[in-house]
Amino acid sequence: MNKVLETVGFRKGECIFREGDAGARAYIIESGLVEVAVRRQGRALVLAELGEGELLGEMALLDGLRRSATARAVQDTVLIVLNRALVEEKLENAEPMLNLFLRAVLERFRTTRTMALPEDRALIGLSDMGAAMPAPRGAAYQRESELVMERLKSEQALSEAIAKEQLELVYQPIFDLHEGHVAGFEALIRWNHPTEGTIPPSGFIDLAEETGLIVPMGLWALEEALRALLRFREVRAGHIYDSSECFVTVNLSTRQFDDPHLADSLGRILSTNDIDPGLLKLEITESLLMKDPEFAMVELNRLKKLGLKLVIDDFGTGYSSLSYLYRFPIDTLKIDRSFVSTMLQDEGSKQIVRATTWLAHALAMDVVAEGVGDSGQLLQLQGLNCEYGQGFFLSRPLAEHDAHSVIDHRLAC
């Protein structure tokens, strides 16, 4: 899309658009004066005179119908052009409910314009008609309306999911690639929906993030993961050959990270569970950190004071500045699975895994390779001195009781 603003000039008296024309553009008046008028019973009725900074032509652009009035330059005028593609892009990214409101207002406005009512009342839009206004029926409105209904229902269902105990954490083992034992687990959330079955995070995390539900949901995940950690400890303690404690990692989303109460809530959860805080690792993506590095620095230091560990997730897919990487109190880099899963065929991926491991060690961090998909990758990672590995080849994410039974598993090689 062309990001350069297009402007167009009109001389005094020139017509900008005419009532009944098709309209694919709206305008903002950069300078000058524009008169907007309609023809009724053979005479022109001026609706408005618009000056600098005001908007015109937006109705036809938004609902794709014809111009409902004529616009003419009263003085020499310059307009900034807003074309349909630009506006549609903005509408697509807007809150569905706002879109619905927009369509409803537009359709009602147009309907009242064409109703057989005293001219002056019809022309001002009849905001006082209240319930007497006909319901909008356009196809676009129907589509928006269905979208909004669906979204409201999902939002409602998701907000009840915690109370109704429909959320569950599954645990994917993370192996120590040198010693071969299970070093810890990544907690991954699932929604056991009463009619849709198990929904993976890709089906609801975005909605939870947009609505803010991710904050209570994330807190629930942290508390649940810590309770699971206590149970893992008990199971592990029963093993004669390896009673070392395992850790648990929990994913943090943007909204949670921005929540000013995060560190306090975490402090409270940690103090109510008899657990070594160093066994809890928070996974944060690099794009989240680089969004506002100075804020991230303060927040990371507050979290570190609680004694827990910090992991940069999906490393290599964002744009970390190396100087920040050095200054952030990070314990672990987790190499994104797109590099690990292609490292045997793609020399570039292999070099990224090698360089990331080297960089992490140089900065006194350890490394987790995620997405380990076969024994060849595993061997290479061991050769590169990568400490930890996680991936479907080693184990899929497991329900907690299955995680208990693999807690003493060891790698064959």
Q: Which residues of the shown chain bind ligand C2E in the complex (CB under 6 A)?
A: 172, 188-189, 200-202, 205, 218, 221, 251, 253, 283, 313-314, 337, 370-371, 373, 390-392, 397
Does 387 engage in binding with Ca ion (CB under 5 A)?
no
Q: How far is CA 370 from CA 172, 221, 277, 375, 408, in A?
A: 11, 21, 23, 14, 20
Our CB check for Ca ion shows the closer of 270 and 284 to be 284
Our CB check for ligand C2E shows the closer of 57 and 218 to be 218
- Smallest separation (angstroms) from Ca ion to the CB of 76: 58
State the number of CA atoms in the 13 A half-sphere of 359 facing the CB.
Answer: 20
- Smallest separation (angstroms) from ligand C2E to the CB of 287: 11
CA distance 105 to 21: 21
Our CB check for ligand C2E shows the closer of 106 and 368 to be 368
- Smallest separation (angstroms) from ligand C2E to the CB of 408: 21
CA distance 288 to 159: 24
CA distance 280 to 284: 13
Query: Helix crossing, 375-383 with 347-362: angle to 10°?
Result: 40
User: Residue 397 touches which of Ca ion, ligand C2E, none (CB < 5 to 8 A by kind)?
Assistant: ligand C2E
Our CB check for ligand C2E shows the closer of 77 and 172 to be 172
User: b/e map of 131-145 (b: 16 or more CB within 10 Å)?
Assistant: eebeebebebbeebb
State the number of CA atoms in the 13 A half-sphere of 136 facing the CB.
Answer: 20
Number of residues that bind Ca ion (CB under 5 A): 4
- Smallest separation (angstroms) from Ca ion to the CB of 10: 55
Surface-to-core class of residue 373, CB atoms within 10 Å of its CB (0-12 exposed, 13-18 middle, 19+ buried): middle
Does 283 engage in binding with Ca ion (CB under 5 A)?
yes
Our CB check for ligand C2E shows the closer of 111 and 382 to be 382
Surface-to-core class of residue 405, CB atoms within 10 Å of its CB (0-12 exposed, 13-18 middle, 19+ buried): exposed
> Order of strands across the sheet with 55-56?
7-10, 77-83, 25-31, 55-56
Does 314 engage in binding with Ca ion (CB under 5 A)?
yes
- Smallest separation (angstroms) from Ca ion to the CB of 274: 26
Does 107 engage in binding with Ca ion (CB under 5 A)?
no
Our CB check for Ca ion shows the closer of 73 and 248 to be 248
Within 233-262, the residues that bind Ca ion by CB under 5 A are: 251
Does 286 engage in binding with Ca ion (CB under 5 A)?
no
Our CB check for ligand C2E shows the closer of 180 and 201 to be 201
Residues that bind Ca ion (CB under 5 A): 251, 283, 313-314
